[in-house]
Amino acid sequence: MTADTLGALLSLAPAARFDWYASLTHEEARAIAFYWPLWARPEQLPPAGDWHTWLVCAGRGFGKTRAGAEWVRLTARSEPEARIALVGASLAEVRSVMIEGESGILAVSPPGTAPAWEPSLRRLTWANGAQAICYSAAEPESLRGPQHGFAWCDEIAKWDNSGERAVAAWDNLLMGLRLGETPRVAATTTPRAVPLVQRLLGEDDVVVTRGTTWDNERNLPTRFLNRMRRQFGRTTLGRQELDGELLRDIEGALWSRALLETCRQTPPLLQGRGSGGGALNFARIVIGVDPPASAQGDACGIVACGVDEEGVATVLADETVARASPEKWARAVARAAAKWDADRVIAEANQGGAMVESVLRAADVGLPVKLVHASRGKTARAEPVAALYEAGRVRHAGLFAKLEDQMCGLTIGGGYEGPGRSPDRADALVWALTELMLGRTGRPGIKAL
């Protein structure tokens, strides 16, 4: 395709461009279907000029993976001696998303030009000699030594932050990015306030592309878009995952998002103990409950936590239910206790202690229930639990967006600036972790009824 023809087509409105494509013969349409500059939105194309790091920081469904895969394809085609690093959160994600996924390198390659994929060697090889090697960001040392001229790093906000592995993987990659005259790295991610993402956004020589889920509306199912708008349109989670907004910490918050990212780990295979589900082995598991004042009011916070023999706690699940009758939330508590094989349920008794216990007993006669009384404010109760996080003694088995939003809304001095009227999920977490981690040394302001 000549530059003039391409320019004329790009000047057309998207609808007119698709009409033109529909008028082509089958052979013509097949030949041009893989011509990425014709179909890409401008923000999906690599920046013009001399750049070293391109960061695509956008919402889910924006087309980040397609942009990264197409850039790798372009690089391999134009650089016969290219050595490209493909780095993901794990080797499994590199393979399933970056290489074999619907928008991965193999899928975007025209028939007859796709690279040879050798899974056992973790290697892609193009006919012209260009190669791409797979790496896991969870193994930073694997990037110490190998040399590359280019790299595509996918979902860097998901990289393992424990022990600063994510930053170490990035730094080791950069130190080996020394082949050729113009080494380059493209990083694609949904924004989260992890140390690596915040660092890159603060560097002057990083070219940043922003975007939202809605930018790719033409290529996404209408039902999906409507569901996302209805369920997440006005939520903090929606701002991050759909609008591509980097959520900043509230001044004076007990928990920062960066801190929570450092304690995240791979979720266990559901169930608590004795389930045969391959779960982690915990010495104790409890369910923290923050009952609502009424069925029309706040949600009933229900959070499952466990502690191992080493004294490290893990937040296992957020089973919170919203706008539920006493019978409904009590049944939800009973299900959570059975699911995780909990030792006991820790429930706040301030909202009618006798009623809370009777409702829980009615839902499950054998449910081990312990009522606790909140004699101090939410922040005062939460501060010693926040200190456990600072000491590295609490882990999160996955991402609990709504719970973590509330945790980051609790501030020193007794304020709450998170979503909703009350931090019901965070309260339930505090009750559970206080029981598991602080019970034997005393719990200021908390007593069993």
Instruction: Residue 308: give its domain's CATH number.
Output: 3.30.420.240
Contact at 8 Å (CB) between 341 and 272? yes
pLDDT cut 90: percent of the chain above it: 53
Neighbours of 348 (CB within 10 A): 23
pLDDT on residue 247? 77
| 57 is a domain residue | yes
Task: Give the CATH number, domain containing residue 176.
Answer: 3.40.50.300
Domain coverage including residue 110 = 40-239
More confident residue, 6 or 144: 144
pLDDT band at 324 (very low <50, low <70, confident <90, very high): confident
Q: What is the pLDDT of residues 418-442, one digit of tens each?
A: 777 889 999 999 999 999 999 754 3
Kindly state whether residues 322 and 188 are assigned to the same domain: no
* Higher pLDDT among residues 264 and 18, named by residue: 264
Domain boundary among 188, 205, 239: 239
Q: Say whether both 211 and 282 belong to one domain.
A: no
| H or E element in which residue 61 lies | none
184 and 60 within one domain: yes
- Read off the amino acid at residue 304: A
Residues 93 and 210 in one domain: yes
In a domain, 20, yes or no: no
User: What is the C-alpha to C-alpha distance for residues 433 and 449, in angstroms, rounded to an integer?
Assistant: 18
Percent of the chain past pLDDT 70, that is, above it, reads 86
Based on the domain organization, do 226 and 341 belong to the same domain? no
**Overall average pLDDT of the 163-177 stretch:** 93
11 lies in some domain: no
The answer to whether residues 342 and 436 belong to one domain is: yes
Using CB atoms within 10 A of its CB, is residue 244 exposed (0-12), middle (13-18) or buried (19+)?
Answer: buried
Domain end among 212, 239, 266: 239
Judge if 211 and 302 occupy the same domain: no
No. of helices (H) and no. of strands (E), the chain: 17, 16
AA letter at 177: L
Q: What is the mean pLDDT of residues 349-370?
A: 71
C-alpha radius of gyration, the chain, whole number: 25
Higher-confidence residue of 233 and 124: namely: 124
Give the mean pLDDT of 70-75: 96
Between 412 and 89, where is the model more confident?
A: 89
| Inside any domain, residue 97 | yes
For residue 87, the model assigns a pLDDT of 98
User: Is the residue at 317 inside a domain?
Assistant: yes
232 shares its domain with 276: no
Whether 13 shows a pLDDT value over 80: the answer reads no
Whether residue 282 sits in one domain with residue 235: no
418 found inside a domain: yes
CB 68 within 8 A of CB 129: no
Q: Mean pLDDT across the stretch 112-138?
A: 96
State yes or no: pLDDT of 449 exceeds 70: no
User: Does residue 433 share a domain with residue 360?
Assistant: yes
Q: Is the pTM here over 0.95, yes or no? A: no
Q: Does residue 112 sit in the same domain as residue 46?
A: yes
Report the number of distinct structural domains present in the chain. 2
Q: Residue 218's pLDDT is what?
A: 87
- With contact defined as beta carbons under 8 Å apart, do 152 and 72 qualify? yes
* Cβ contact 370:290 at 8 Å: no
pLDDT band at 395 (very low <50, low <70, confident <90, very high): very high
Q: Which candidate, 124, 126, 108, places its Cα nearest to that of 65?
A: 108
Instruction: State mean pLDDT over 180-197.
Output: 91
Would you state the structure tokens that stand for residue 88, as one six-digit string?
């993901």
Which range among 32-41, 229-238, 251-260, 379-388 shows the weakest confidence by mean pLDDT?
229-238
pLDDT at 352 over 70: no
Higher pLDDT, 253 or 194: 253
pLDDT at 270: 47
The token pair that represents 131 in the structure block: 């190669």
- 248 vs 370, more confident: 370
Instruction: Point out the least confidently predicted range of 48-62, 131-145, 233-247, 416-430.
Output: 233-247
The stretch 125-143 carries a mean pLDDT of 96
d(CA 265, CA 400): 12
pLDDT digits (tens, 9 = 90+) for 253-311: 899 888 888 888 876 644 445 444 444 589 999 999 998 876 566 789 999 999 999 99
In a domain, 4, yes or no: no
C-alpha distances out from residue 444 to 89, 384, 390, 438, 447, Å: 40, 9, 19, 9, 8
Residue from 448, 280, 423, 415 nearest 349 by CA: 448
Give the model's pLDDT for residue 446.
Answer: 40
The answer on 279 and 230 residing in a single domain is no
Give the integer Cα–Cα distance in Å for 448 and 348. 10
Q: Write down which residue in 178, 208, 239 finishes a domain.
A: 239
- As a whole number, mean pLDDT of residues 205-232 equals 91
Neighbours of 372 (CB within 10 A): 23
